[in-house]
Amino acid sequence: MINDRNSSDTLKQQANVLASCAYEDQTQWGVKARFRYHSVVEDYFTGFMLHCKGWRSVYLSLRRPQFLGTGVTNLNDLLVQGTRWGSGLVEVGISRFCPLIYGPQQGLPLLQSMAYAELAFFPLLYSLSLWCFATIPQLCLLNGIPLYPEVSSPYFSVFLLTFLSGLFKHLHEVLMDGKTIQTWRNEQRTWMIKSVTAHLYGSLDAIMKKLGLREASFMPTSKIMDGEQLTTYKKGLIDFQASTMLISPFVTLAILNVVSLAGGIIRMTVVGDWRKMLGQVLLSCYILVINYAVIEGMVIRKDKGRIALHVTLLSAVFSVMFLLVGSLILIMF
């Protein structure tokens, strides 16, 4: 609290200048740090350009956060926000400011350029890898095609240890941060859902804008706390009141993995080739355990935040079509 009126008036004037759009005029920042390229991921792009211009950053470690903001509390806003960020990152990656090309040209170290490139392309790479991760082993399992070594093979342990090491590394980071196993599970689920929806749509949006098939747009997300949605959020439940386009991909994949798991168990018990198919069965089981909330939203929950029946039916139709087309392709090749 400032009691001196003169000091208070001076502070108010300085705050008005700071809040104005002209604060950077006639300064080194205003002259040298402006860029002609505009991106929806302004924090990423600004940091990249400043490093390219020779600025150096330092890590500031303080006990209390310097900035506080409001995050989204429902799935629809999370995926819309993720789509916008994914589109902005990929858009930078396929522009003339691609970190792998523009960075070294501006004298940025190769490793730092690669780090920026990983951020720029991760929506595209995650969406492609997660869609393959959630479909190809499942289709092969239903058609009796083993992808992994037999359980008795020493190479099976290589696949198993690689998979488990990634999970336990993430779990260790979560626990060291003071969070719980439930937090780890939520982060795994969110990563999967965002990868097959927001990252996919964001990457497609950026590519279409690059090809001139779509105009640039900005999709804001609401930070307003709806009473019922906030209650659902505090209970730890996902509010599935979202666009069908955003919901149907991961619901379709959930149904596909349910069918794959059931078919794999039947194949192992009836045909008896469990040594060949155990890896793929465990993969489908892992996906369903992590995404139990999706199954719960389709079958068990009866509240307003459940997955709508028409979305479940539409996703089931997509799953059948995917199974038929995928099986036909596997038979042909």
DSSP per-residue string spanning 129-162:
HHHHHHHHHHHHHHTT---S--TTSHHHHHHHHH
Sequence-distant (≥ 6) Cβ neighbours of residue 203 within 8 angstroms? 86, 87, 90, 123, 124, 127
Distance (Å, rounded) from C-alpha 263 to C-alpha 269?
10
Q: 82 and 202 in contact (C-beta within 8 Å)?
A: yes
Q: In the chain, pLDDT over 90 holds for what percent of residues?
A: 54
pLDDT in tens, 168-195: 999 999 999 899 999 999 999 999 999 9
pTM (two decimals): 0.82
Q: Is the dihedral of CA 242, 248, 254, 255 positive or negative?
A: positive
Q: Average pLDDT for residues 304-314, to the nearest whole number? A: 92
Residue 56 has what pLDDT? 87
Sign of CA pseudo-dihedral 246, 195, 124, 156: negative
Q: Is 301 left (phi over 0), alpha (psi -120 to 50) or beta?
A: beta
- For a pLDDT cut of 70, what percent of the chain falls above it? 85
Rounded CA-CA distance 197/312 in Å is: 16
Q: What is the mean pLDDT of residues 71-87?
A: 87
Taking the alpha carbons at both ends of the chain, their separation in whole angstroms is 75
